[in-house]
């Protein structure tokens, strides 16, 4: 019985080391939704939110890629030049599909929640 518990503990502790590691490099590219919204990641210091003809730079961001889904908080200026901090969740579904949900009220749940706003599916454009 003791061997079972030790083995279980070792498996539990080592499972984190097999988790897929992501970074901002995995997000580089232009990601577009079916309605024209986009997230454009040029590099770690140049990221833009695009909607129609409007392309707004993300002024700063904090990302926690160790979480699943990933936490991605960013600062943008709205059309009235007001600076807003937005919290969001990101999930790389595969190499070309990104799930994204932004929470305007400042609270972020641990997982995607349809009753907290739109969940947007973005596809990588080459």
Give me the architecture of the 22-125 domain, per CATH: Beta Barrel (2.40)
Query: Order of strands, edge to edge, in the sheet holding 37-43?
Result: 54-57, 46-51, 37-43, 29-32, 119-125, 97-103, 83-94, 70-77, 60-64
* pLDDT for residue 87: 94
Q: In terms of pTM, does the model score above 0.85?
A: no
pLDDT tens-digit profile, the chain (126 residues): 444 334 333 333 333 333 457 889 999 999 999 998 999 999 999 999 998 888 999 999 999 999 999 999 999 998 788 898 999 999 999 999 999 999 987 789 999 999 888 899 999 996
- Burial letters 50-74, b for 16+ CB under 10 A, else e: beeeeeeebeebebebeeebbbbbb
CB atoms inside a 10 Å sphere around CB 125: 11
> What ranges do the domains of the chain cover?
22-125
Determine the pLDDT at residue 15: 37
**Predicted local distance difference test score (pLDDT) of residue 91:** 96
DSSP characters for 62-109? EEETTSSSEEEEEEEE-TT--EEEEEEEEEEEETTEEEEEEETTS---
């Amino acid at each position: 019985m003791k061997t079972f518990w030790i083995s279980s503990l070792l498996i539990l502790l080592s499972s984190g080391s097999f988790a897929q590691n992501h970074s901002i490099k995995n997000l580089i590219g232009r990601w577009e939704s079916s309605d024209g919204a986009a997230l454009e990641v040029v590099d770690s210091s140049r990221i833009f939110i695009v909607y129609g003809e409007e392309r707004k730079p993300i002024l700063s961001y904090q990302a926690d890629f160790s979480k699943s889904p990933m936490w991605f908080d960013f600062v943008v200026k709205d059309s009235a030049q007001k600076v807003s901090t937005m919290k969001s969740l990101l999930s790389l579904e595969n190499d070309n599909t990104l799930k994204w949900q932004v929470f305007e009220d400042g609270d972020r749940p641990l997982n995607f929640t349809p009753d907290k706003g739109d969940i947007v599916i973005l596809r990588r454009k080459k």
